[in-house]
Amino acid sequence: MDWFYPFLQAVLNGMLTGSLYALIAMGMALIFGVMRIVNFAHGAFLMLGMYATWVMFEHAHINPYIGFIPTGVLLFIIGAAVYAGLVRHVPVQAEFMIILLTLGVSLICVDSILLIFGADYHQLNFPLLGKNLRLGSQISLNAPWVISFGIALLAAAGLYMFVMRTMFGRAARAIAQNPYSAPLMGINIHRVQAVTFGLGAAAAGIAGALLLPVFYLYPDVGHLFNLKSFLMVVMGGMGSIEGAAAAGLVLGVVESLTSLYWGNEWALVVDFVIFILVLSFKPSGIFGSQRA
């Protein structure tokens, strides 16, 4: 049984990290699914979420586990505003324009933060960070990771229910299926897309808020997650939010196990090998067959 506890510990650690990956990827998948936009500003939204949470903690002593709620609202507003002010004016067919536009938004966000807060890194320090939950004698889980995991799962489930079970979600899915006939059915396409973009940004922002206590922040931190979330969106089936969530969890666990058995330097390699395998043998993604 010597091998079992390290294995279990690594799987649990991987799930904790994976839940945050999942939430980040779901936001990107939602935007991609409804609008066919690869949002390169996603990492920047995550970074904005981290900064918003950090400012609230530093200046108003709002615990990040409460602060993630106003952060989500703020990022929703920013996301919806970016859509209404910029994205909706670019024709849908001009994919390259959209990529440039979101890249531009990302640069503006990063450089504004640089201008306001400087390049220095910051991290949170509060007593909870040192608390570990012990399960038996062998397994220990860091409390802030566990709380982040719980909130990330709730947020992900909420997002899923919202898209699958509400009228709004139905409208969003209708646009995803056919953006030309959806407005003929009486759907206000711009409003739905603005809300979708906002929700995607909010998911990234909340993930940022939850990541903050266990990580650190600096203006460029978002780029660490941009590529990875795109990876998960593709693996999950280009726009399937449940697929992206599953891909996030899988990557988290795979990275953790790779670190344990082969070494951390291989983690990214294994990520990409899985990515290529999925693309080669199931190009529609893990959950791809369910969606057009």
The tokens describing 176, both together, are: 């995803």
Residue 284: how many other CB atoms lie within 10 Å:
16
Give residue 61's region: left, alpha or beta (phi > 0; psi -120 to 50): left
Residue 225: how many other CB atoms lie within 10 Å:
24
The tokens describing 172, both together, are: 């969003």
Residue (18 or 285) nearer to other proteins, CB: 18
The correct pick among 198, 219, 222, 285 for binding other proteins (CB under 8 A) is 219
Q: Is 259 in the site for other proteins (CB under 8 A)?
A: yes
How many binding residues for other proteins (CB under 8 A)? 39
- What is the distance between the alpha carbons of residues 55 and 2, in angstroms, rounded to a whole number? 45
Q: How far is the CB of 258 from other proteins (least distance, A)?
A: 8
Contact window for other proteins (CB under 8 A) among 48-56, 57-65, 165-173, 255-263: 255-263
- What is the distance between the alpha carbons of residues 175 and 68, in angstroms, rounded to a whole number? 29
Binding mask 166-205 for other proteins (x = CB under 8 A): ----------------------------------------
- What is the distance between the alpha carbons of residues 168 and 196, in angstroms, rounded to a whole number? 9
The correct pick among 91, 136, 186, 263 for binding other proteins (CB under 8 A) is 263
The tokens describing 243, both together, are: 């697929």
How does DSSP assign 18-36, residue by residue?
HHHHHHHHHHHHHHHHHH-
Binding mask 108-147 for other proteins (x = CB under 8 A): ------x----xxxxx-x---xx-x-------x-x-----
| Residue ranges binding other proteins (CB under 8 A) | 6, 9-10, 13-14, 16-17, 20, 114, 119-123, 125, 129-130, 132, 140, 142, 211, 214-216, 218-220, 224, 255-257, 259-261, 263-265, 267-268
